[in-house]
Copies of this chain bind each other. A is one copy, B any other.
Amino acid sequence: MNVHIPPVVSVTSGPLPASTKVYRAGTVHPEIRVPMRQIAVHPTAGEPPVTVYDSSGPFTDAAFTVDIAKGLPRLRQAWSQAHVEAYDGRALKPEDNGNLPEAKLTPAFPVQHRPLRAVGGKAVTQLAFARAGIVTPEMEFVAIRENLGRERATAALKRDGEPFSAVTPDFITPEWVRDEVASGRAIIPANINHPELEPMAIGRNFLVKINANIGNSAVTSSMAEEVEKMVWAIRWGADTVMDLSTGRNIHNIRDWIIRNAPVPIGTVPLYQALEKVDGIAENLTWEVYRDTLIEQAEQGVDYFTVHAGLRLRHIPLTVERVTGIVSRGGSIMAKWCLHHHRESFLYEHFEEICDICRMYDVSFSLGDGLRPGSIADANDAAQFAELDTLGELTQIAWAKDCQVMIEGPGHVPMHKIKENVERQVKVCGDAPFYTLGPLVTDIAPGYDHITSGIGAAMIGWFGTAMLCYVTPKEHLGLPDRDDVKVGVITYKIAAHAADLAKGHPAAQLRDDALSRARFEFRWEDQFNLSLDPETARLFHDATLPKEAHKTAHFCSMCGPKFCSMKISHDIRAEAQKEGMEAMAQKYRDGGDLYMPAGE
């Protein structure tokens, strides 16, 4: 037997500027430690550090030694695990990695664990526990995270937003989280075989989340690149990551990713199933698919995209479309259905898929195989017919205690966006909505992070719980590391803009802190409080690189004489000298020159 020396995989690590990782302990569950990031500002500001949500995991903890070959600490293992047993999992098969010869195989992850599964027919999903009135460690973890470090006493802030039908309390409690999960309005994707996970929630009444896609294709990329993409994506703020690999080594690459992932990992099992039948869609079978579900559930995948809503009867509705079926999984299933003249095996076997998912707590992401891939196809009959079926499947999954979220479009012009949310709420029982953008125009390949960022911000405001990112490479090729970062930052912007517009109780604190730093020319603070401190500093350096420039009361946009913020300070100094009120009085007496507006 060959001894495999684990490859040295280097990833980007270390804290972001001026940032410290802090942990808060639970009270219901004292064993949990919930990470947050604190960004310190200059002492002259006289302000406390700003605490922000932190999805980046131990990689940004200065006290943590990164070793990709070891994986992250298996923190959930110590939490109570009711109704589960360890067992000898399914044996690895050569087809799991695309039948590659050993020389071309990505090395196996050095440590293999026996998987856990439910016993006695019990469901071990967060939904089952929530319905039973149990507040799990995961639920409390989520509650603490969602409060962004605020204490209850200071939590009742002035609320200013238009939340539509979202309802978020000033202060999040573990019991409230339990109720949200029990109702199906939120999910906590948390496979019992992913103990490295730092739990998070996806739901209309929570902070809007974002997903980054990674994964190789037959044409390009490797394990080391994909692990770094995952670490890189969460560094910049991705809340979940989907591994959409379609090439070789799918199984082994996924192991390296999950064992090092502090965020939920999603997949589309159909892709690997298709690889196992050599890419011939017609040769897919329920058996191959079922086997793949178990393989991936044992590894620890937290949610599966399943295109069970695309039925044979829907396919004629796509024939007149401008861009047909743009979903990989959707097109594969449509091809299979037509070839066999049969109903989708995913639809027919859906209850059995539920039976597997409930044993491991793999959440469903019910796929939108018939999402529109062009403005012309937006909100058409094909799209909404599938949505109706997703509504039906949601009820079946819930009856089996499976957690469910619903995938959504796509390419949708702005005036058609709200209808998507309204329909989805009505048809799918208010399960969380998880959209890809949407792109609000087709005409800008190369800039589809922007065309979709616009739609994503809007649909997030209207109530969508998670936004799947789009990078500048969309429609053109596989994204590289730089594209991943730009996509993540764009979607953090969209999600945060949505939180602000919904009036989330703590969202505006960061905007205000950054704007105060800007106004006071605390340039380093402005950079450090921003979503991408490195780029902000780089852009400032482009014209003003010297250290002295970083406290200058101007920048190169306007120069020292024209800086409106500097002049604003002069105005305030002048006003204080005179006394605003004294001036106002003077001119009230002399005439109406200086009356407050509205008097």
**Chain A interfacial positions (CB closer than 8 Å to B):** 161-162, 217-220, 246-247, 271, 274, 279, 281, 312-319, 322-328, 330-332, 334-335, 338-339, 341-343, 373-376, 381, 385, 388, 413-415, 440-447, 449-451, 453-454, 457-458, 461, 472-478, 480, 489-490, 492-494, 496-498, 500-503, 508, 510-512, 514-516, 518-519, 526-527, 529-532, 535-536, 538-540, 542-544, 555-565, 567-572, 574-575, 578, 580, 583-584, 586-587, 592-598
With known contacts A322-B512, A497-B454, A574-B338, A246–B558 Cβ distance under 8 A: yes
Interface of chain A, helix or strand or loop or mixed? helix
With known contacts A313-B594, A376-B511, A595-B313, A496–B443 Cβ distance under 8 A: yes
Q: Please name the residue on chain B nearest to A460 by beta carbon.
A: B414
Which one of B335, B441, B593 contacts A343 once the chains associate, using CB atoms below 8 Å? B593
With known contacts A514-B442, A571-B335, A555–B494 Cβ distance under 8 A: no
With known contacts A461-B414, A596-B313, A571–B334 Cβ distance under 8 A: yes
Q: Please name the residue on chain B nearest to A342 by beta carbon.
A: B593
Distance between A169 CB and nearest chain B CB, rounded to angstroms:
19
With known contacts A217-B562, A494-B454, A500–B539 Cβ distance under 8 A: no
Which one of B335, B472, B597 contacts A317 once the chains associate, using CB atoms below 8 Å? B597
Contacts of A319 in B (CB 8 A): 572, 575, 580
Q: Is the CB of B274 within 8 A of A565?
A: no
Distance between A451 CB and nearest chain B CB, rounded to angstroms:
6
Distance between A170 CB and nearest chain B CB, rounded to angstroms:
18
The CA-CA distance from A326 to B569 in the complex, in Å, is 11
Contacts of A473 in B (CB 8 A): 539, 542, 557
How many copies make up the complex? 2
Q: Is the CB of B598 within 8 A of A381?
A: yes
Q: Is the CB of A457 within 8 A of B440?
A: yes
Minimum-distance CB pairs A-B, first 8: A324-B568, A218-B559, A374-B515, A279-B561, A331-B567, A385-B597, A414-B501, A162-B415
Q: Is the CB of A567 within 8 A of B218?
A: no
Q: Is the CB of B519 within 8 A of A324?
A: yes
Q: Is the CB of B450 within 8 A of A587?
A: no
With known contacts A281-B567, A477-B544, A490–B328 Cβ distance under 8 A: no
The CA-CA distance from A558 to B246 in the complex, in Å, is 7
Q: Is the CB of A328 within 8 A of B493?
A: no
Q: Please name the residue on chain B nearest to A322 by beta carbon.
A: B515
Q: Can you sample 21 A-B contacts with CB below 8 Å?
A: A218-B560, A218-B562, A219-B543, A279-B561, A313-B592, A314-B597, A316-B580, A319-B575, A322-B512, A334-B571, A338-B583, A374-B515, A415-B500, A440-B493, A442-B511, A443-B514, A446-B530, A450-B450, A453-B453, A454-B458, A454-B494
The CA-CA distance from A508 to B414 in the complex, in Å, is 13
Q: Please name the residue on chain B nearest to A531 by beta carbon.
A: B444
Q: Please name the residue on chain B nearest to A384 by beta carbon.
A: B597
Q: Is the CB of A323 within 8 A of B593?
A: no
Which one of B335, B447, B597 contacts A489 once the chains associate, using CB atoms below 8 Å? B447
Q: Please name the residue on chain B nearest to A564 by beta carbon.
A: B331
Contacts of A526 in B (CB 8 A): 445, 475
With known contacts A441-B500, A539-B476, A568–B312 Cβ distance under 8 A: no
Q: Please name the residue on chain B nearest to A529 by beta carbon.
A: B443
Q: Is the CB of A445 within 8 A of B567?
A: no
Q: Is the CB of A493 within 8 A of B444?
A: yes
Which one of B440, B539, B557 contacts A217 once the chains associate, using CB atoms below 8 Å? B557
Q: Is the CB of A489 within 8 A of B571?
A: no
By CB atoms of chain B within 10 A, which of A443, A445, A446 has the most?
A443
Distance between A338 CB and nearest chain B CB, rounded to angstroms:
5
Q: Is the CB of A597 within 8 A of B445?
A: no
Q: Is the CB of A374 within 8 A of B326?
A: no
Which one of B316, B326, B381, B441 contacts A511 once the chains associate, using CB atoms below 8 Å? B441
Q: Is the CB of A415 within 8 A of B503?
A: yes
Contacts of A339 in B (CB 8 A): 574
With known contacts A247-B559, A328-B564, A493-B451, A518–B475 Cβ distance under 8 A: yes
The CA-CA distance from A501 to B330 in the complex, in Å, is 28
Q: Is the CB of B443 within 8 A of A530?
A: yes
Q: Is the CB of A575 within 8 A of B338?
A: yes
Contacts of A414 in B (CB 8 A): 457-458, 461, 497-498, 500-501
Distance between A6 CB and nearest chain B CB, rounded to angstroms:
28
Q: Please name the residue on chain B nearest to A386 by beta carbon.
A: B597
The CA-CA distance from A472 to B493 in the complex, in Å, is 14
Which one of B444, B501, B568 contacts A530 once the chains associate, using CB atoms below 8 Å? B444
The CA-CA distance from A503 to B415 in the complex, in Å, is 9
Which one of B219, B442, B565 contacts A323 once the chains associate, using CB atoms below 8 Å? B565
By CB atoms of chain B within 10 A, which of A441, A447, A494, A575 has the most?
A441
The CA-CA distance from A475 to B522 in the complex, in Å, is 13
Given contacts A217-B557, A451-B497, A475-B526, 5 further A-B contacts (CB under 8 A): A279-B561, A324-B564, A328-B558, A413-B497, A476-B542
Distance between A161 CB and nearest chain B CB, rounded to angstroms:
6
The CA-CA distance from A334 to B587 in the complex, in Å, is 16
By CB atoms of chain B within 10 A, which of A447, A502, A558, A584 has the most?
A447
